[in-house]
Amino acid sequence: MMAMEQLFHAVPVHCLQHGCSKFGAANVALAILVTAALGILADYIWMLYLRSKMPPGPFPYPIIGNTFQLPNNKPWVYFEELSRKYNTPLITYWIGRNPTVWINDAWTASELLDKRAGIYCSRPRMLVFAELGSGQNNLVNMYTTTKAQRERFRIQRKLMHQGVGIQQVKKYRHFQNDESKVVAYHLLTKPENYVAHFERYATSVVSIIGFGRRVGNPKDPIITEVIAVMHRAADLNVPGKTFPMLMETFPALARVPTEYAPWKHGLGSKRKSHRGHDFFYSLAHEANEKPEHEDCYAKVLFKEQKKYDLGNKEISALAGNLFGAGSDTSSSTLITAVLAMRAFPETLIPAWKELDRVVGSDRSPSFDDDANLPYVHAFVKEVFRWRSVAIIGGQPHAPTQDDYYNGYLIPKSTWVQGNVWAIHHNEREFPEPDRFNPNRFLKDHPDARPFPGERGYMTFGWGRRVCSGQALAEQGTWLMIARLLWGFKFGPALDEQGKPKPVDIFDYTNGLNMRPQTFEVSIEPRSERVRQAIIREGEQALTDLAPYEGETKYRMSTFYTK
């Protein structure tokens, strides 16, 4: 015993203390690791429990789910393949710890998102697009889980309908028609710039609606800058395994200040987001101060500001949503239409015959001709179906309560996404889906198949979250395509050896609002009489549009760089 005491006292006290501290630190570290492991295990057990009740899908891993199984491009095609693999219209795919239910069938989409619209009217938590992006003041992103949220959503939707509702857009037909005539006029001299002509047309229409000012120059910053931002946002928000969308899997990374987090791609910067809102607010405020064009949408918003207690950010979001609802998407649809005309020339012949019979060569089609042009109407519908711009139906829906479909659980607040690509490429409704075939939409034609809803396509979404600009887009797209079909021949561009340059009908961008990659096409007037009519109408249209000429002192780039 004495020897042991001597040995004990022979050891320096600081060594004992150091050993104890090492032992204590090791215990703490071990406790933390064990606690974290148990937490991950418990969370994973909960994931697997939910998985057993939800629609089938790939087996998820702890924490990361199925995120790193996503393809690099066009995930909507991958989800279509999974739906076939599991032989079910619904699949569950885990982005990190959060399940997403993908709807790959028209009838299921109609049942859930249209017939149960009251349940599927909300949005899930969207870290990248909403919280770090356009914000919760935006109608597109709003939750509707509480009474107060539903009331605010109802107010904004009502105000949006005052701008682009079904009845309201009929008032815009005169300048929409004139801007369409200007496109045909410009195609006579610069057909190779057809993309720029379409972007100018679509942006000018919504600019007149929103701010009482037309856009006459294809290089106007309100086109180049705003559409560039829209393309960037669409590219960044594709479900994927790269940043910034990877923050949906690892949300803690979003807490790092933006200036120190290159993976956030500038999202979440209070300065940038604030100034981004200020840009559209400034455009609206500028338009409101001008005495002319009393019926422009900006004046409506300021008139209703006090009644509905609209904040500046809400005015900005409502004004900005006009561009999202009618500029980039509409121009992309028109580019797709030209691709279809170039790749499937046989579909033009019935259109030409119908237009020659109903319209003739001395004037272009008008809205009054719609009822007498069933094939042209079917042609436009096939454009919407063949390569839909909003390829996954816009932003995800979320049920406000737990729901069940065919025995499968869809938990409250789950991401529910309609896969428009899969819906519009289902062989059951659309045999040979990649073949452009307007006959699918002709009544009593053998190529027609049953489809839920009267339109025959689901391009604009569903239920209470359907695209606000649907009526405007359908109205303008019909008129523009009818005028293109009436006025022009679309053939192959020729290379230096005089050989036709091929086009690829699958070569599309990877963004949520997809459009064809650049392709060349020959665009020529169908006859001399048609060319003279285009010139006459184009010159008159520019005269009629003169009252809308004007400039704005604001540039989006200056708001983002100050």
Q: Over the stretch 541-554, which tens digit does the pLDDT of each residue have?
A: 999 999 999 888 88
Give the per-residue pLDDT at 270.
60
Domains and CATH numbers, the chain: 147-561 (1.10.630.10)
Q: How far is CA 480 from the centre of its chain?
A: 21
Nearest CA-CA partner of 150 in 116, 122, 115:
122
Q: Tell me which of 54-58, 271-275, 451-455, 485-489 is least confident.
A: 271-275
Residue where the block lists tokens 């452009």? 436
Q: What is the DSSP letter of 516?
A: B
Give the per-residue pLDDT at 203.
94
pLDDT digits (tens, 9 = 90+) for 8-57: 344 444 444 555 566 678 888 888 898 989 989 999 999 999 999 999 99
Q: Tell me which of 12-21, 59-68, 479-488 is least confident.
A: 12-21
Q: Rounded distance, CA 534 to CA 188, Å? A: 8
Mean pLDDT of 295-300: 93
Where does 344-430 have alpha helices with state H? 348-358, 374-386, 420-424
Q: Which residues contact 57 (CB under 8 A, 6 or more apart)?
A: 51, 66, 82, 86, 91, 92, 93, 94
Residue where the block lists tokens 């949408």? 297
CB-facing half-sphere around the CA of 312: CA atoms within 13 A = 11
Exposed (0-12), middle (13-18) or buried (19+): which is 252, by Cβ within 10 Å? exposed
Nearest CA-CA partner of 257 in 269, 246, 265, 247:
269
467 is in an annotated binding site: yes
Q: What is the DSSP letter of 246?
A: G
Q: Rounded distance, CA 93 to CA 51, Å? A: 10
- Look at residue 245 and tell me whether its pLDDT is greater than 50: yes
Q: How far is CA 43 from the centre of its chain?
A: 33
Look at phi and psi of residue 12 and say left if phi exceeds 0, alpha if psi is from -120 to 50, else beta: beta
Q: Rounded distance, CA 18 to CA 266, Å? A: 47
Give the per-residue pLDDT at 3.
43
Mean pLDDT of 420-449: 97
Give the per-residue pLDDT at 558.
77
Q: Give the H or E element holding residue 492.
A: strand 488-492
Nearest CA-CA partner of 383 in 248, 279, 473, 250:
473
pLDDT digits (tens, 9 = 90+) for 435-465: 999 999 999 999 999 999 999 999 999 999 9
Share of the chain above pLDDT 90, in %: 79
Helices 194-211 & 173-189 angle (0-180, nearest 10): 160
H helix count then E strand count, the chain: 19, 7
How far is CA 241 from each of CA 254, 269, 311, 382, 513, rounded to the nearest angstrom? 15, 22, 36, 33, 19
Q: What is the DSSP letter of 401?
A: S
What does pLDDT average to over the chain?
A: 91
- Look at residue 351 and tell me whether its pLDDT is greater than 80: yes
Give the per-residue pLDDT at 273.
46
Instruction: Assess contact for 190 and 160: CB atoms under 8 A.
Output: no
The SS3 call for residue 393 is coil
Give the per-residue pLDDT at 441.
98
Q: Rounded distance, CA 473 to CA 368, Å? A: 17
Extract the tokens encoding 271.
Answer: 């300065």
Cis peptide bond prior to 244, omega within 30° of 0: yes
Q: Measured between alpha carbons, how far apart are the two ends of the chain, in Å? A: 79
- Look at residue 388 and tell me whether its pLDDT is greater than 60: yes
- Give exposure, 143-174, as e/b (b: 16+ Cβ within 10 Å): bbbeeebbebbebbeebbeebbbeebbeebee
pLDDT digits (tens, 9 = 90+) for 90-122: 999 999 999 999 999 999 999 999 999 999 999
The confidence band for 282, taking pLDDT boundaries of 50, 70 and 90, is: very high
For residue 368, the tally of other CB atoms under 10 A from its CB is 8
The confidence band for 557, taking pLDDT boundaries of 50, 70 and 90, is: confident
The confidence band for 301, taking pLDDT boundaries of 50, 70 and 90, is: very high
Q: Rounded distance, CA 355 to CA 348, Å? A: 10
pLDDT digits (tens, 9 = 90+) for 120-142: 999 999 999 899 988 878 999 99
Instruction: Assess contact for 351 and 374: CB atoms under 8 A.
Output: no
Q: Write a three-state SS string for 58-126.
A: CCCECCCECHHHCCCCCHHHHHHHHHHHHCCCEEEEEECCEEEEEECCHHHHHHHHHCCCCCCCECCCC
The confidence band for 236, taking pLDDT boundaries of 50, 70 and 90, is: confident
Q: Rounded distance, CA 361 to CA 355, Å? A: 9
Beta bridge partners of 489: 524
